[in-house]
Amino acid sequence: MNLKISHPTKFLFGKVDLPPSKSITNRLLIIQQLCDQSFEIINRSNAKDTELLVDILASDRNVVDAEDAGTTFRFLTAFYATQEGEKILTGSARMKERPIKVLVDALRELGADISYMDQEGYPPIAIRGKQLRGGEVKIDGSISSQYISALLLIAPRLEIGLSLHLKGKIASKPYIRMSLELMKRMGISYLWKDNVITVPSQKYKPLSVIVEPDWSAASYFFQMAALASSSELTINGLNKESIQGDSIVSSLFEQFGVKVSYLKKGIKLRKEIPDNPYQQFDYNFYECPDLAQTFVPIVAQQGLPAIFSGIQSLRIKETDRVEALKNEIAKFGIDLLPFDDESFELKAQEYKPTTKPIETYNDHRMAMAFAGLALKQDELIIKDAEVVKKSFPSFWDALDKIGFKVEEV
């Protein structure tokens, strides 16, 4: 499905309902399976990845296809390693290119029986689950926080718990904190001192949990608020005390002129002239890599020189996101120049509207990150726009409610 996106007035007003956090929901679903008693997950995500995980956990099939859901694959790798029985865990063609070795090596150190069925270090894998003893294990923390979260979620159910030593710089640390905070809410005690996280053997407590709206999804509306000629948006459900690291987006957009007011049950965004506008945008996305795509279009549109660093994990996501961003932003006359695996530069160049369609590379964030640029031209074509189902199924409906015209072409 290809969509033509436009906004007749370029004035952005209205209310936005965000999806519940996929990241929080998926963690709670694993905890729910590890808890001796069931508990209610209120406001559960309906994202494609979450629905897939729900379906998988409810089934007893031996061959499990996690498709292109990275979090699902990694969480299930650790979960199945602790459950009696045999599973073959596979995924899409892209998933088979995404490394799993760091997690498998750590699980093997804890006693897991996991073998590769094709290329060493990559899916598909065969898992012979059993009760794992636990103990000490070292893991490279610089590659993906999902490996660390996968281990932490199973840690309380290991015979002697887990002492997790993190080597190197830790990637996406807020996502690790999210896992630990959810575990704490479910009765789990832990100690994080220096580079070691210790989780004793214990039981999860069955307590009902309300899932927060998704701050990553909110970032696209911050971007749109900045791109619009005028804007006043109410985003329901968000709050200052979020456990999501991507809530940092509220401060990052201040210098783009987006003022945030916190309401009783949400936030309000207004576009104002910033006191100290960006002259150059340099930011390290190491702890919030999912936000990098949100900022590339607006930085390019405003003609700012920029350096995006801490983006190494973008190359092993749903697509190589650095290459995808480079290809698509070039359609607007902007050069994205990779420095190395950890950073890229945007040149200060004249932004030019384009009639070329935006490719999405089977990546939900490419579709949502570029949609806002329709506010800076007559219309914009987004190809394969249904990819938003992965995290925000109602995204195009949300745009329709704040004045965008969304047409299938």
CB 304 within 8 A of CB 280: yes
CA distance 227 to 11: 10
Amino acid at 187: G
**Residue 110, both tokens:** 């804890």
**Residue 235, both tokens:** 């985003």
- Residues carrying an active site annotation: 290
CB 218 within 8 A of CB 253: no
**Residue 299, both tokens:** 């930085």
Burial (CB count <10 Å: 0-12, 13-18, 19+), residue 241:
exposed
